[in-house]
Amino acid sequence: MTRTTTTVVFRLEIAAASAAFGAVVAAVGDAGGDVVALNVVRTGGDTTVRDVTVQLSPDSQPLLADRLRSMPGVRLIDESDSIFLAHLGGKIQVVPTTPVRNREELSRVYTPGVARVSLAIRDDPSKAFTLTAKRNTVAVVTDGSAVLGLGNIGPEAAMPVMEGKAMLFKQFADLNAFPICLRTQDPDEIVRIVKAISPGFGGINLEDIGSPRCFEIERRLQEELDIPVFHDDQHGTAVVILAGLINALRLVGKSTGSLRVVVCGIGAAGAACAEMLLAAGVRDLIAVDREGALVPGVDYGNPTLNRIAAVTNPRRLAGPLSEAIRGADVFIGVSGPGVLQANDLRRMAPDAIVFAMANPEPEIDPDVAAPLVRVLATGRSDYPNQINNVLCFPGIFRGALDCRASVINSEMKLAAARAIAGIVTEEELHERYIVPSIFNEQVVTQVRAAVIRAAVRTGVAAIVTEPGE
């Protein structure tokens, strides 16, 4: 399996009199890296400041930095890896749709011309969908409480992830998305704030809000707003998991009705995933959280665990994950790193399917798991079968906003899952290729079309639009 390299820019002050630059290049080679670019930042009398861009394995970066620091005639001023450089100044910007070059254009797009448009919207607020960016704009709202698998890291630290989501909305679905990172984790306040900002948005994508608060926040906003409210970590994840499972089952020749499935981590993603798999026809599903297998009727002191326990585990199996997984055809992990052991995989049924989706570290090291299962997927881009909600959220919002759906309902989500799965042809389908790449343009097009058709069929679309293909 492939491992990524990283690109690091070392800013070095090098004494002009010494042969230090040759020693720098030699040190890079010794560290297993390559010099891929070289820029002179400043030349003075005695020294030259250069940015030396190096590609190397992440483990070698600190070793190379130490070597550079100890090198005579060289001063390491700074090191910035390509990931940090890509974040300098943020990753998104607002771009006007029309230029403002002179007074005439100014008076058309701004005052006094704009006043007529405002009054038209005052008289008919639905015109906001045609005369403003509303129909093409999504709020990506977080409280920073469950960011990736990093936990409660707060609203500022959540910004890079939310900007990333906004980039993906734009790149893949041409939707404008704004990161809205809130300095509150109080559900009442979050609901109040999102309602208050909703006039400017065609849809609300809730992101990385911890469970169980995310369920209440989403439910209340769905009830109180007439635009789609979609908690990506619940439903986006569940949609892509189902898409991956549909294709993994095509490979192993098993059907949903006869499967034994274990879902581990009954938080935002896991609860939605369990519900979606049941809606798709899975009957024998055991939900596992820190307490072990959830058994119907037991009170876990947590409404989500109680709700999922009530509709799962028909064999009423109790005990830890290592017991629940015995004989399972499918393991889906949306819990945390290291939850799953190699021995657990050996207990699974033949042709085991394992989706270890905790980010950034999966439930089991993929290199350990791969030889023990038939199909392995993770949330990571550096391994095959990346199951990530980016396969869902751009297309599902594009479809919902284009037909002006009031909600994103179960039928739309199931349609999105089937559309994603359907993009992988029989010839392409393989243990290492069960979901398409987001860079496959069919993904957003097909998800959009399927979502529009499902919205129209279920009566939640406000306008007739061409689904296209």
Ligand X SMILES: NC(=O)c1ccc[n+]([C@@H]2O[C@H](COP(=O)([O-])OP(=O)(O)OC[C@H]3O[C@@H](n4cnc5c(N)ncnc54)[C@H](O)[C@@H]3O)[C@@H](O)[C@H]2O)c1
Binding footprint of Mg ion on the chain (CB under 5 A): 208, 233
User: For residues 50 and 194, what is the distance between their CA atoms, to the nearest angstrom?
Assistant: 48
Tell me which stretch binds ligand X (CB under 6 A): 123-131, 185-193, 351-359, 451-459.
351-359
Query: How far is 168 from 442, CA to CA, in rounded Å?
Result: 15
Residues 153 to 212 in contact with ligand LMR, rule: CB under 6 A: 161, 208
Q: Can residue 233 be called a binding residue for ligand LMR (CB under 6 A)?
A: yes
d(CA 99, CA 229): 33
Q: DSSP letters along 41-80, please?
A: EEE-SSEEEEEEEEEE-TTHHHHHHHHHHTSTTEEEEEEE
User: What token pair was written down for 229?
Assistant: 């409210």
The residues facing 51 across adjacent strands are: 11, 39
Contacts of 430 (CB under 8 A, 6+ apart): 251
Residue 388 binds ligand LMR (CB under 6 A): yes
Q: Report if residue 335 touches ligand X, rule: CB under 6 A.
A: yes
Q: What is the 3-state secondary structure (H, E, C) of 3-15?
A: CCCEEEEEEEEEE
User: Any catalytic annotation for residue 110?
Assistant: yes
Residue 165 annotated among the catalytic residues of the structure: yes
Q: Does 211 bind ligand X (CB under 6 A)?
A: yes
Say if CB 261 and CB 277 are below 8 A apart.
yes
**Interacting residue with ligand LMR among 148, 193, 252, 456 (CB under 6 A):** 148
Nearest-approach distance from CB 389 to ligand LMR, in angstroms: 5
Residue sitting closest to ligand LMR (CB): 359
- Of the candidate residues 282, 358, 373, 420, the single one contacting ligand X (CB under 6 A): 358
Tell me the pairing of strands 47-56 and 34-43.
Answer: antiparallel
Q: Label the pairing between strands 34-43 and 375-378.
A: unpaired
Task: Supply the DSSP symbol for 433.
Answer: B
> Of 143 and 232, which CB lies nearer to ligand LMR in the complex structure?
232
Told to check if 222 binds ligand LMR by CB under 6 A, we report: no
CB of 379 or CB of 399, closer to ligand LMR: 379
3-state secondary structure of 263: strand
Q: How far is the CB of 208 from Mg ion (least distance, A)?
A: 4
Nearer to ligand X, 270 or 395 (CB): 270
User: Interface residues for ligand X in 405-434 (CB under 6 A)?
Assistant: none
On the CB side of 62, CA atoms within 13 Å amount to 1
429 touching ligand LMR, by CB under 6 A: no
Q: Out of ligand X, ligand LMR, Mg ion, none, which partner does residue 270 contact, by CB within 5 to 8 A per kind?
A: ligand X
Footprint of ligand X on residues 252-271 (CB under 6 A)?
264-270
Smallest Cα–Cα separation from 287: which of 269, 304, 323, 312?
A: 312
Of residues 134, 165, 383, 413, which has the active-site annotation?
165
Write out the residues near ligand X by the rule CB under 6 A.
146, 148-149, 210-211, 233, 237, 264-270, 288-290, 334-336, 339, 357-359, 379, 387-389
- Residues labelled catalytic: 110, 165
